[in-house]
Amino acid sequence: MITEASVLDALSGVRDPELDEPITDLKFISDLRVGDGAVDVRLRLPTPFCAPNFAYLMAHDAREALLSVPGVHKATVILDDHHTADEINTGMAGGLGFEGTFSSFEETGEDLDGLRDIFRRKAFVSRQEKLCRAMLADGHSSHELANMSLREVRGSEVKDKYLSRRRELGLDVSDDAPFVVDPDGRQVPEEAVVQHLRFARVTRLSIEANAGFCRGVLAARNGISDPEEESA
């Protein structure tokens, strides 16, 4: 017996690649139906003009997540009210892949994995900055951060998120690995740490502000009041 909770749990592993948050937290799931071995999910994004490549990635990932739930043999993901909904829904149903889905357009050689990677790197940088910021607030200096190993970073939810994004990039997450590394895994030299974090701060801001914008627009679209601004 498939439960709604197990389905939602699986879907919570799907993130908006650009906003680095689960599609369940972002309230993108507009409808969910669980039947005998089958699940139907509808996704509604903040505007009909959300970028088709991201829309496609989320629909695709949602379908994969649903199929990973024990007992689910058939998973249907429908994108609602999107300007490329027809193409994406047909493409998803037929397993056409991204290029196949948009085959009426010129071949762009678009590399969706490459795009996903760009955003994984950004998510990593942003999570790292968030963690460093919290540690500076706790009394560590940037000099200390630069010389720490992962073991020396106290456990927290922020650290777990950072490690998960770090792992996704295939970087070393062992206890002895240096803490402050760039998205290629190279340790950031002590004299460069401040500048590194300064730039990382803009990446985090960009992701968070964009997520805030999308939340507000989705709330307006669904006719509910805008959630409070998160403390930045």
Partner 1 sequence: MYEKDGEKYYVVDGHVHFWNAGPDNYNKYGKMFIDCFYGYHSALSPEEYLWDEEKFGKYSEEDMMHDLFEIGYVDKAIFQPTYLLDFFPNGFNTTAQDAVLAEKHPDKFILNSSFEPRLGEQGLAEFEEKHKKYGFKGVKLYTAEWHEDSKGWKLTDDWSRRYLEKCLELGVKNIHVHKGPTIRPLNKDAFNVDDVDHVATEFTDLNFIVEHVGLPRLEDFCWIGVQEPNVYGGLAVAMPFIYSRPRYFAQIIGELLYWLDEDRILFASDYAIWQPKWLVEMFVDFQIPEDMQGEYGTLTPDIKRKILGLNAAKLYDIEVPSEIPQEAPAMAGGETGYPERPL
Closer CB to partner 1, 72 or 135, in the complex: 135
Which H/E stretch holds residue 39? Answer: strand 38-43
Q: Is residue 141 a contact residue for partner 1 (CB under 8 A)?
A: yes
Question: In 10 A of CB 163, how many CB atoms?
Answer: 17
What burial class does residue 48 get, using C-beta atoms within 10 Å of its C-beta: 0-12 exposed, 13-18 middle, 19+ buried?
middle
Query: Residue 2 in contact with residue 72, Cβ under 8 Å?
Result: yes
Residue 218's contacts (CB-CB under 8 Å, 6 or more residues apart) are 26, 27, 28, 44, 45, 46
Contact with partner 1 (CB under 8 A) among 110, 152, 175, 191: 110
Binders of partner 1 among 170-199, rule CB under 8 A? 194-195, 197-199
Nearer to partner 1, 39 or 91 (CB): 91
23 scored as a contact of partner 1 (CB under 8 A) = no
Residue with Cβ nearer partner 1 (66 or 127): 127
- Select 186 or 198, whichever has its Cβ closest to partner 1: 198
Instruction: Report CA dihedral (59, 60, 65, 69) to the nearest 10 degrees.
Output: 100
Q: Which residues bind partner 1 (CB under 8 A)?
A: 18, 46-53, 81, 83-84, 102, 104-106, 108, 110, 115, 118, 122, 133, 136-142, 194-195, 197-199, 201-203, 205-210, 212-213, 216-217, 219-221, 226, 229, 231-232
